[in-house]
Structure 1
Amino acid sequence: MNDDMMIGTRIQEVHAAIETARARRTSVPKDAPVELIAVTKNHPVEAMQAAIDAGIMNIGENRVQEALDKAQTLEREVKWHLIGHLQRNKVKHAVRQFDLIHSVDSVRLAQEIDKAAEKFGKVQNILVQVNLAREESKSGVYREELDDVLAEIEVLRAIRLQGFMCIAPNYDDVEECRPLFRAMYELFRQVKECEPRTADIRYLSMGMTHDYEIAVEEGANLVRVGTAIFGARQYALGV
Structure 2
Amino acid sequence: MLREHLEEIESNIQSACARAGRSRESVRLIAVSKTQPVSAIEEAYALGLRDFGENKVKEMLGKESQLPEDIRWHLIGHLQTNKVRQVLSKTVLIHSLDSLKLLDAVDFEAMKQRIVVEGLLEVNVAEEESKFGFLPEELWGLLNRLCQYKNLKIRGLMTVAPFTINQEDNRAVFRKLKEISIDTRWNTLDNISMDILSMGMTGDYSVAIEEGATIIRVGTGLFGARNLGEDGQ
TM over 0.5: yes
1:198 and 2:191 aligned: yes
Query: Which position in structure 1 is the counterpart of 2:6?
Result: 11
Q: What is the count of residue pairs matched by the alignment?
A: 231
1:79 and 2:72 aligned: yes
Q: Compared with structure 1, are the counterparts of its residues 193 and 119 closer, same or farther at alpha carbon in structure 2 (3 Å cutoff)? A: closer
Query: Which position in structure 2 is the counterpart of 1:37?
Result: 30
Q: Provide the rounded CA distance (Å) in 2 between the counterparts of 1:58 and 1:80.
A: 6
Q: 1:112 aligns with which of 105, 116, 121?
A: 105
Query: Which position in structure 1 is the counterpart of 2:130?
Result: 137
Query: Which position in structure 2 is the counterpart of 1:217?
Result: 210
- Once the two structures are overlaid, the 10-residue window that deviates more, 74-83 or 99-108, is 74-83
The alpha-carbon deviation at position 199 of structure 1 amounts to 2.0
Q: For each residue in 1:153-196, what CA deviation from the matched residue of structure 2 results, as whole angstroms up to 9, or x when unmatched?
A: 22110001000001111123321101111111111122586252
Runs of 4+ in structure 1 deviating by more than 3 angstroms, as ranges, are 236-239
Give the alignment of 1:147-162 within 5 angstroms: 147-162=140-155
Q: Provide the rounded CA distance (Å) in 2 between the counterparts of 1:103 and 1:191.
A: 23
Query: Which position in structure 2 is the counterpart of 1:21?
Result: 16
User: Which amino acid in the other structure matches residue 42 of structure 1?
Assistant: T
Q: Is the 8 A contact 1:182 1:218 kept in 2?
A: yes
Provide the identity percentage: 39
Structure 2: unaligned runs, 5 residues or longer: none
Q: Is the 8 A contact 2:56 2:231 kept in 1?
A: no
Structure 1: unaligned runs, 5 residues or longer: 1-5
Query: Which position in structure 2 is the counterpart of 1:175?
Result: 168
Q: Is the 8 A contact 1:107 1:153 kept in 2?
A: no
| SS state at 2:194 partner | coil
| SS state at 2:225 partner | coil
1:122 and 2:115 aligned: yes
Q: Is the 8 A contact 1:185 1:219 kept in 2?
A: yes
User: Which amino acid in the other structure matches residue 36 of structure 1?
Assistant: L
1:189 and 2:182 aligned: yes
The alpha-carbon deviation at position 23 of structure 1 amounts to 1.1
Q: Provide the rounded CA distance (Å) in 1 between the counterparts of 2:193 and 2:167.
A: 31
**Please, what TM-score do these two structures have when normalized by structure 1?**
0.91
The alpha-carbon deviation at position 124 of structure 1 amounts to 0.4
Q: Compared with structure 1, are the counterparts of its residues 195 and 163 closer, same or farther at alpha carbon in structure 2 (3 Å cutoff)? A: farther
Q: Provide the rounded CA distance (Å) in 2 between the counterparts of 1:45 and 1:190.
A: 41
Q: Provide the rounded CA distance (Å) in 2 between the counterparts of 1:35 and 1:192.
A: 26
User: Which amino acid in the other structure matches residue 30 of structure 1?
Assistant: R
Query: Which position in structure 1 is the counterpart of 2:96?
Result: 103
